[in-house]
Amino acid sequence: MPDAERENAVLRELVTVYRHLSGLAMQDADLAGVVRLISERASATVAVVSQLMDVQTAASPGLSPEKAAALVREHVVHPRLGQVLRASRMSQRALRLPNVGGVPAIIVAPVLVGDEVPSYLITLEGSEETFSEDMSLLVTEHAATICGVILGRERVVAAAARRVRDDLVEGLLLGRGRDAGDAARWAAHLGYDPLVTHHVAAIAFELPPARAADAEALRQRIRESIEHFIVTRAPEAIVSAREDEVVVVAAASPDPRKLASACLARLAELFPGAKVVIGIGGACRDPEEIAGSYDQAHRTTQTLWRLRRTGVVSAFEDLGIHRLLLQVPDLGELRAFAAEVLGKLSEHEHEHKSEYLATLACYFRENNSPQRASRLLHVHPNTVAYRIKRIEEITGLRLDNYRDRLIAQVALEILDALPDGQS
């Protein structure tokens, strides 16, 4: 074929490929469709790979998508490919790594979504060249542009779906449904099974000091890491990310405490500078009960923050009387109350190492029984009885009196909840 005829044929093929690619952009096509088209027209192995070199989709003449992906994986380990990828990303243009040592020539084009390059379109040229080098670059670059359009569209659709989903979750968490039917419909849309017992967990975090831009990026990474961790271990869980909190609605089995503890440990590995607390609400089945469980989970995290107990998983039921005591706005008032009731006893224990506070706490836990308390304290029952008498002498309390006993128990709970110096 004369050179002029061959050049015209190649140009017609190029126009045809461009037209088909543009058609894919206008249709509801996916990345696999673009890859198949280029592979068929250029008789080459074509793939879209992520920044981490994961093959997202691949096609090759005469091979299944799985075998095509395996073929691409063999070649993306080329020692110079990383340099070409970086140069391609920086220039935002297609680049060609020539055939060296029997390795086929590789054309790389960045897939642009806005200013980001989430993926690359890679073409492994075959022995039969349909296009010249320059035209192969043009085809790959245009195909990468169409891939960017498709990814951008998918992101928009995914973002819209995520907003709708988050709005539904928010409505359930805050009890915004006009009636029980609203909550049931929202929950069903989210995949919630009312026949299974669930718990709501609130995973709250605080960031180390950082610039505003850095803090927002870190906050997003933490939210994404929590969501990825949860969905990989509890696929049926409903997860919603908020500003400094990720809310999880998960079935009671597997144990939400174990799931939360594992998540806490993973976050400590990934983000050692962040402070994290996890609160777990009570059981819920009816969709209308989700709001109550979330309220309990949120109150638990707020209590843990006030107690400065970070790196902790706690269920609402674990808080006991603390969930009432810590409704007092000024924690200093609680400490003042505890000091008024047991301050002299604390001073005596500090000076004489008398272990009176521990004895009193054990005595109360064992329902005022010196015998049972003595077994736990590993002392004689008479020793417990003597210590209780001395406690009454030092504090002026009469522990056989209901009001005095209640006051002493509340004061002990405050001392247990608020370490020395906390206000």
298 and 396 belong to one structural domain: no
Average pLDDT over residues 43-64: 89
Phi, psi of 62 (to 5 degrees): 80, 0
Give domain status of residue 299, yes or no: yes
273 and 389 belong to one structural domain: no
Give domain status of residue 234, yes or no: yes
11 and 130 belong to one structural domain: yes
Whether 10 has a pLDDT exceeding 60, the answer reads: no
Residue 422, number of CB atoms within 10 A of its CB: 13
Tell which of 266, 287, 319 closes a domain. Answer: 319
Q: Indicate the range of 44-58, 204-218, 360-374 predicted with least confidence.
A: 204-218
43 and 117 belong to one structural domain: yes
Token digits of residue 122: 């890679």
Phi, psi of 103 (to 5 degrees): -80, 130
Q: Please calculate the CA angle 245-246-248 and round it to the nearest 5 degrees.
A: 140
Residues 6 or more apart in contact with residue 58 via CB below 8 angstroms: 35, 45, 46, 47, 48, 65, 68, 69, 71, 72
15 and 108 belong to one structural domain: yes
Rounded to whole angstroms, the Cα distance separating 227 from 81 reads 32
3-state DSSP percent of the chain in helix, strand and coil, to 5 = 60, 15, 25
pLDDT at 101: 60
For the chain, the distance separating the N- and C-terminal CA atoms, rounded to the nearest angstrom, is 90
Q: What is the CATH number of the domain that holds 370?
A: 1.10.10.2840
9 and 63 belong to one structural domain: yes
Q: What is the CATH number of the domain that holds 234?
A: 3.30.70.270
Whether 289 has a pLDDT exceeding 90, the answer reads: yes
312 and 286 belong to one structural domain: yes
271 and 336 belong to one structural domain: no
Give domain status of residue 163, yes or no: no
Give domain status of residue 247, yes or no: yes
Spatial CA neighbour of 322 closest among 305, 310, 336, 339: 305
Give domain status of residue 175, yes or no: no
Token digits of residue 235: 């696929």
Whether 241 has a pLDDT exceeding 60, the answer reads: yes
Q: Which domain holds residue 394?
A: 331-417
pLDDT tens, position by position, 188-237: 989 999 999 999 999 999 988 766 667 888 888 899 899 989 988 999 99
Rounded to whole angstroms, the Cα distance separating 99 from 77 reads 15
304 and 348 belong to one structural domain: no
149 and 243 belong to one structural domain: no
Determine the residue type at 127: S
Number of domains the chain contains: 3
Give domain status of residue 303, yes or no: yes
**Could you please report the per-residue DSSP string of 314-334?**
EEGGGGTTHHHHTTSS-HHHH
pLDDT at 126: 67
Structure confidence at residue 150 as a pLDDT band (50, 70, 90): confident
pLDDT tens, position by position, 269-280: 999 989 999 999
Whether 100 has a pLDDT exceeding 80, the answer reads: no
pLDDT at 197: 95
Contact 403, 345 (CB under 8 A): no
216 and 278 belong to one structural domain: yes
64 and 140 belong to one structural domain: yes
pLDDT at 97: 85
Give domain status of residue 184, yes or no: no
Give domain status of residue 212, yes or no: yes
pLDDT at 423: 43
- Rounded to 10 degrees, what is the CA torsion of 54, 235, 169, 266? -70
Structure confidence at residue 1 as a pLDDT band (50, 70, 90): very low
Tell which of 319, 353, 387 closes a domain. Answer: 319
- Rounded to 10 degrees, what is the CA torsion of 20, 34, 146, 155? 140
Token digits of residue 317: 């039921």
Rounded to whole angstroms, the Cα distance separating 59 from 65 reads 5
Q: Give the 3-state DSSP-derived string for 246-269, with helices as H, strands as E and coil as C.
A: EEEEEECCCCHHHHHHHHHHHHHH
Tell which of 104, 129, 156 closes a domain. Answer: 156
Average pLDDT, the chain: 84
Average pLDDT over residues 16-31: 71
Task: Using DSSP bridges, classify how beta strands 45-50 and 55-59 pair: parallel, antiparallel or unpaired.
Answer: antiparallel
Average pLDDT over residues 393-420: 85
**Could you please report the per-residue DSSP string of 99-166?**
-BTTBPPEEEEEEEETTEEEEEEEEE--SS-SS-HHHHHHHHHHHHHHHHHHHHHHHHHHHHHHHHHH
Rounded to whole angstroms, the Cα distance separating 34 from 47 reads 9
Q: What is the CATH number of the domain that holds 82?
A: 3.30.450.40
pLDDT at 301: 93
